[in-house]
């Protein structure tokens, strides 16, 4: 599990992970150039093997737990680097642990110097000294609250949001997420309807899809979410930004009226028309055709054409009556 808080309200970023291998995690955090342990508890620190063995001995207090490794990366803005001494960073990390309910257990706090963003890695044993498991329930919310409180308490720099991030330095998946974020934000500036929003995204190479509650869509209530796809990678709206959820975007964007289900579905480029095997139903009251997937479309001359066989039949009946009267 990985949780990352990013946005204008977050300066300090907490990325939370759980795993099964202390050895792999220790090797990762200790392998970076100039990696240094700035705080620890209950762990022998002579070398990676001793650190790993220390964690593994304690995990045996509760061997049923398959993922006893806790790993949190705490990252800060470059502007805060001058004030973030090892002692100050460790102090912030310890307060963060307390807010997250990570106590009475082994841990090491390792600082890295390989990026512009000052950051450290907290590796801890989810099996406490008493053999009980440190719960991860509600991690996301606690993480969000803790990073914001610490930022306010110590006057850390506010992040400028995803739109200011240098995407070229990110890994491919993270880069795509930022590109989608910026594209959605830009598209919303010039969109009043879902169709306009979708068209703006298509022009930027992004596909918009709706997540359905059921196979058929009869109303907007049958939609439960949206996802975005770019360069073959698909993300739920919540993975991009909570403000891009279907509920929030639907409150902002309107549906053109009269609208059809085709306008609930995003436009698909060069898509062949779908022929429904279901026979359409005709409405003479409003001159619209209702059928297929419940779509309403202008009828044109089709209704008149369908009625012609009945007119011919009536004429034949009249001729037959005339013949009987002779």
DSSP conformation letters of 110-157:
EEE-SSSS-EEEEEEESB-TTS-B---TTHHHHHHHHHHHHHHHHTPP
Q: Look at residue 228 and tell me whether its pLDDT is greater than 90.
A: yes
pLDDT band at 221 (very low <50, low <70, confident <90, very high): confident
Tell me the three state secondary structure of residue 227.
Answer: strand
Top pLDDT among 68 and 1 is at 68
Q: What architecture (CATH level 2) is domain 13-160?
A: 2-Layer Sandwich (3.30)
The Cα–Cα gap between 199 and 206 comes to: 9
Ranges 55-59, 167-171, 182-186, 301-305, most confident: 55-59
Top pLDDT among 58 and 248 is at 58
pTM of the model: 0.50
Task: Over range 98-103, report the average pLDDT.
Answer: 95
Whole-number pLDDT of residue 242: 82
Q: Look at residue 222 and tell me whether its pLDDT is greater than 50.
A: yes
- CA-to-CA separations, 71 to 15, 28, 110, 297, in angstroms, rounded: 8, 11, 11, 56
Are the beta carbons of 45 and 37 closer than 8 angstroms? yes
Top pLDDT among 264 and 283 is at 264
In this structure, the dihedral spanned by the alpha carbons of residues 246, 142, 2 and 18, taken in order and rounded to 10 degrees, is -150
Q: Look at residue 206 and tell me whether its pLDDT is greater than 60.
A: yes
Task: Over range 276-304, report the average pLDDT.
Answer: 37
Whole-number pLDDT of residue 107: 98
Mean pLDDT of the chain: 77
pLDDT band at 214 (very low <50, low <70, confident <90, very high): confident
Task: Over range 27-37, report the average pLDDT.
Answer: 93
Top pLDDT among 34 and 95 is at 95
pLDDT band at 152 (very low <50, low <70, confident <90, very high): confident
Residue 264: closest CA among 206, 214, 189: 214
Whole-number pLDDT of residue 318: 52
* Of the listed ranges 222-236, 287-301, 310-324, the one predicted with least confidence: 287-301
The Cα–Cα gap between 193 and 195 comes to: 5
Structural domain spans, the chain: 13-160, 167-264, 274-326
Whole-number pLDDT of residue 165: 56
Task: Over range 193-202, report the average pLDDT.
Answer: 93
Ranges 149-158, 211-220, 269-278, most confident: 149-158
């Amino acid at each position: 599990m990985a949780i990352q808080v990013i946005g204008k309200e977050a300066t300090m970023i907490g990325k939370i992970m759980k795993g099964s291998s202390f050895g792999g995690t220790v090797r990762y955090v200790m392998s970076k150039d100039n990696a240094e342990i700035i705080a620890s508890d209950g762990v022998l620190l002579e070398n990676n093997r001793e650190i790993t063995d220390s964690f593994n001995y304690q995990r045996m207090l509760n061997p049923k737990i398959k993922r006893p490794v806790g790993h949190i990366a705490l990252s800060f803005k470059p502007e805060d680097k001058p004030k973030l001494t090892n002692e100050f960073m460790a102090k912030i990390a310890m307060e963060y642990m307390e807010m997250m309910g990570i106590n009475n257990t082994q841990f090491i706090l390792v600082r890295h110097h390989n990026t512009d963003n000052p950051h450290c890695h907290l590796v801890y044993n989810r099996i406490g000294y008493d053999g009980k498991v440190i719960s991860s329930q509600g991690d996301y919310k606690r993480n969000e609250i803790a990073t914001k409180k610490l930022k306010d308490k110590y006057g850390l720099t506010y992040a400028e949001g995803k739109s200011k991030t240098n995407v070229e330095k990110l890994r491919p998946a993270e880069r795509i997420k930022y590109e989608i974020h910026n594209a959605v934000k830009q598209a919303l500036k010039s969109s009043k309807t879902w169709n306009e929003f979708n068209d703006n995204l298509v022009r930027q190479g992004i596909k918009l899809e709706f997540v359905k509650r059921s196979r058929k869509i009869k109303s907007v209530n049958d939609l439960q979410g949206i996802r975005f796809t770019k360069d073959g990678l698909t993300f739920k709206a919540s993975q991009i930004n909570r403000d891009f959820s279907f509920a929030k975007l639907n409150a902002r964007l309107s549906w053109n009226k009269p609208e059809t289900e085709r306008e609930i579905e995003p436009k698909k480029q060069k898509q062949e028309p779908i022929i429904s095997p279901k026979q359409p139903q005709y409405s003479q009251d409003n001159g619209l055709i209702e059928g297929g997937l419940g779509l309403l479309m202008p009828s044109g001359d089709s209704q008149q054409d369908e009625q012609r066989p009945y007119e011919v039949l009536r004429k034949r009946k009249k001729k037959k009556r005339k013949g009987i009267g002779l």
